[in-house]
Amino acid sequence: MRGTVVAVTSASISGQHDDRSRDVIGDLASALTAAIGADHVLTPADVRAGFETDWTGRYRGSSDIVARPASTAEVSAVLTACMEHDAQVIAQAGNTGLVGGSVPRAARDRDERPVVIVSMRRLDHLGAVDTAAMQVTAGAGTTLARWRDHARSAGLDTPVDFAARDVATVGGAIATNAGGSRVLRFGTMRQQVVGIEAVTADGSVIGSLSGLPKETAGLHWPSLLTGSEGTLAVITSARLRLVPLFRATITALVALEGFGQGASVPGSGRAGAGTAASRRAATPPVASAQEAPSASSRRERSWMRRSSDAGVSASAKGVSAKKALRYSASASCSLPGSAKSLVPGSVSRSTRSGAARPFSG
């Protein structure tokens, strides 16, 4: 389809424009069609509608064209054409951002310039996993679920994961510096991007995908572009860090008396999952046999042993031994296996709640 120019009739272009605007939009649609093919330049209002409404349904915008490029070169061609036609551009990926950033402004807030939604979902290539460097290159439109499955097929895992994984993309997660259910352990997307490629408004390609840790020459594009929400450039590809695939994780329900006590939980989890000595040191006072004389059932004692081995502990001072034990025991049902087989530092506190609640991170 590349290079084929199809006529875009004014009938397929939104009715709210005057003749001049319609001409500009028609010209732009033809230029985009020449660049990426007619199948990927969408102008009918009913087809655009899905791209103009965000995941929550609360934000509805107005656009003239949806362009769906499939490569960095095509993104460059699309942005060049948009600049030549003075068009406004919205980068959109999974459209799950929740705050309206992925859809254009509402019709009443628009000026006369054309509005183009650039959908990034076709840039979904995945490179081979480099198990030595623990890195992989992913197209911006790759969903978090595919990124994760790809890493796991190579015996590794992804450091960022959240409930929108089947739709949210690598590019969207970078653009929003997303966190997720593993954020306390591995950090946000900013910590995972070791290389990035993007296209600026004039069509220039910037960045590098080398993934070299000691990349100190020039601007550090990953730092600049992560969290920029499409304001600086359209991200097309990223070199991403991977993490060990844990053989087991534990979901723990930790009883705390207030938010302030929550700060101590991640630290005790990390310390407890290390050496035998640190495991002993991290054994929570409330989970010791002396302070929990009512620990009568074998199941409860067994959970206590495992939880202190894994560093998951009801460590909040102030929580009564009895109360903590009760919560601890309720969490024992979700233990997948012996915590002794855990890789050091592998405690995942929130796998269940992460799946159930949007902002677990």
Ligand X SMILES: Cc1cc2nc3c(=O)[nH]c(=O)nc-3n(C[C@H](O)[C@H](O)[C@H](O)COP(=O)(O)OP(=O)(O)OC[C@H]3O[C@@H](n4cnc5c(N)ncnc54)[C@H](O)[C@@H]3O)c2cc1C
Which residues in this chain contact ligand X in the complex, by CB under 6 A?
Answer: 55, 90-98, 101-102, 120, 140, 162-164, 168-169, 171-173, 175-176, 178-180, 229-230, 234-235, 358-361
* Minimum distance, C-beta of residue 8 to ligand X, in the bound complex (Å): 25
> Which is nearest to 49 in space by CA: 95, 87, 8?
95
Residue nearest to ligand X (CB): 172
For ligand X, the closer of residues 162 and 221 by Cβ is 162
- Integer Cα distance of 65 and 46 in angstroms: 12
∠ CA 348-353-356, rounded to 5°:
135
> Which is nearest to 250 in space by CA: 319, 198, 311?
311
Residue 145, exposed/middle/buried by CB under 10 A (0-12, 13-18, 19+)?
Answer: middle
> Which is nearest to 68 in space by CA: 48, 98, 46?
48
* Minimum distance, C-beta of residue 132 to ligand X, in the bound complex (Å): 28
* Minimum distance, C-beta of residue 194 to ligand X, in the bound complex (Å): 17
For ligand X, the closer of residues 38 and 138 by Cβ is 138
* Minimum distance, C-beta of residue 264 to ligand X, in the bound complex (Å): 22
For ligand X, the closer of residues 83 and 343 by Cβ is 83
Alpha helices in the chain (DSSP H): 19-36, 45-52, 72-84, 144-153, 170-175, 183-186, 221-225, 264-272, 276-281, 298-310, 321-331, 351-356
Cα within 13 Å of Cα(198), Cβ side: 27
Contact, 120 vs 74, CB < 8 A?
A: no
Enumerate residues 6+ apart whose C-beta is below 8 A from 20.
none
For ligand X, the closer of residues 28 and 225 by Cβ is 225
- Integer Cα distance of 198 and 248 in angstroms: 37
* Minimum distance, C-beta of residue 329 to ligand X, in the bound complex (Å): 28
Q: In what order do the strands lie in the sheet with 234-241?
A: 135-139, 234-241, 193-199, 205-208
* Minimum distance, C-beta of residue 208 to ligand X, in the bound complex (Å): 16
For ligand X, the closer of residues 41 and 234 by Cβ is 234
* Minimum distance, C-beta of residue 59 to ligand X, in the bound complex (Å): 10
For ligand X, the closer of residues 208 and 332 by Cβ is 208
For ligand X, the closer of residues 168 and 273 by Cβ is 168
* Minimum distance, C-beta of residue 117 to ligand X, in the bound complex (Å): 9
- Integer Cα distance of 33 and 156 in angstroms: 40
For ligand X, the closer of residues 180 and 269 by Cβ is 180
